[in-house]
Amino acid sequence: MIKYLSLLFTLLISLIVYSGCEPHQADLTPVKTGAQNLLDNHLGELEGKRVGLVMNPTAVVDGVHMLDTLIASGVEVSALFAPEHGFRGEAGAGEIIEDGIDQGTGLPVFSLYGSTRKPTMEMLDHVDILLFDMQDVGARFYTYYATMGLVLEAAAEAEIPVWILDRPNPMGGDYVSGWIMEDEFTSFVGPYPLPVAHGMTMGELAQIIVGEQWLDTVVQPDINIISMSGWERQMKWPDTGLSWVAPSPNLPTFEHAMVYLGTCFIEGTTLSEGRGTENPFLTLGSPNTLLEAGQMESLNSRVQFAFISATEFLPKEIPGVAISPKHEGELSRGVKIRLESFQYDPVRNGLLIFKELMDASHEAETNSFLYRLSGTKKIDSILDGTEDPLITNFELDEFIEMRESYLLY
């Protein structure tokens, strides 16, 4: 009887934790984003200026895109700049963005994710000031802040000011995890020496990038950060009261974005990270994955605040979301992750799940992209079992101390 009462108590606690996982947004006073503060307090400063927008579909206030709001407010928007996924979010991960014309406004759209990733002087001839507004997810390998760095370089050279319209880090400002990027593995998915999860907002990232002189320019950028109101570092996304707008097609909810910080490593292997399914980054595996019952039990005993279940899935092409996904049309087996609490540690737990999947997939291979994602070869010690991802030391004390002077909140 005691055994069954204990089990019932455990189930009840799990239900309470899970039901409390996502606060009712109607009960919260929404954080006021930098974009909202711009509209409320700074529109007059844009009068008479040709304004360029570096934005994507997340640049919204009250469900309306900033492009439309600014035009309706009389701002002279003169050019649009498109990062990965496009200005309107019409492209999947890694798809080349072409220059073109915005169908809604007729404005020129310059690609920053094609043959050039840094605005050219010719592109900047169209503008007197740049507004940068994109929702980040808090991961070093998410490319929007890399685009921001290149925009800051180009704008500095052209002597054009850049206003960063700040938005929350969905993971909060206190979660810092993963290895620091080593110089050897610098790339567009890791241009600066940051940890995997940096715990900084776009405005704070702009400050540290400029302050630590990580830009390839001798000219000091002219940046103006339009800060948020009401955001605190301990807030995860559901605490902000803001509606989630997918920052890229494969992160449709905050849960996907949270788990992505640790399961994105699978992109550096032949395993599927779930692209081409309804739940990318929550669904993982391959046609050759075979997890034994004991491995599943071990995972669920060690992974905290999530439930890991066995699953089968069939990746398929989804236009604008998943083009030629791994193992397209092949029945795959693996795991599905279901969060039970936002106390979940995505990097450490993601690495643990990754290691178990590699062990259970006899034909799985890694490639060099894995080191660009991890920023180091130290991830090998996780995969060979030398290090336990739940306790390995990421050596972050120096970074945490360094970033302190750049924090805005």
**pLDDT tens per residue, range 143-154:** 999 999 999 999
> What type of residue sits at position 229?
S
Task: Return the axis-axis angle of helices 254-263 and 346-359, rounded to nearest 10°.
Answer: 60
Contact of 61 with 43, CB cutoff 8 Å: no
Extents of the domains making up the chain: 28-245, 254-377
User: For the residues 191-197, what does the mean pLDDT come to?
Assistant: 98
Whether the pLDDT of residue 188 is over 90: the answer is: yes
Is this prediction's pTM over 0.85?
yes
**pLDDT tens per residue, range 74-105:** 999 999 999 887 887 665 555 667 788 988 89
Enclosing H/E stretch for 400: helix 397-403
Q: Quickly list H helices, 92-198.
A: 121-124, 144-158
Supply the pLDDT for residue 15.
40
Q: Place domain 28-245 in its CATH homologous superfamily.
A: Uncharacterised protein PF07075, DUF1343 (3.40.50.12170)
**pLDDT tens per residue, range 256-293:** 999 999 999 999 999 999 999 999 999 999 999 999 98
User: For the residues 381-402, what does the mean pLDDT come to?
Assistant: 98
| Phi/psi at 373 (5° precision) | -75, -45
Fold match, 28-245 / 254-377: no
User: For the residues 47-64, what does the mean pLDDT come to?
Assistant: 96
Whether the pLDDT of residue 395 is over 60: the answer is: yes
Architecture of domain 254-377: Alpha-Beta Complex (3.90)
Least confident stretch, 83-87, 198-202, 228-232: 83-87
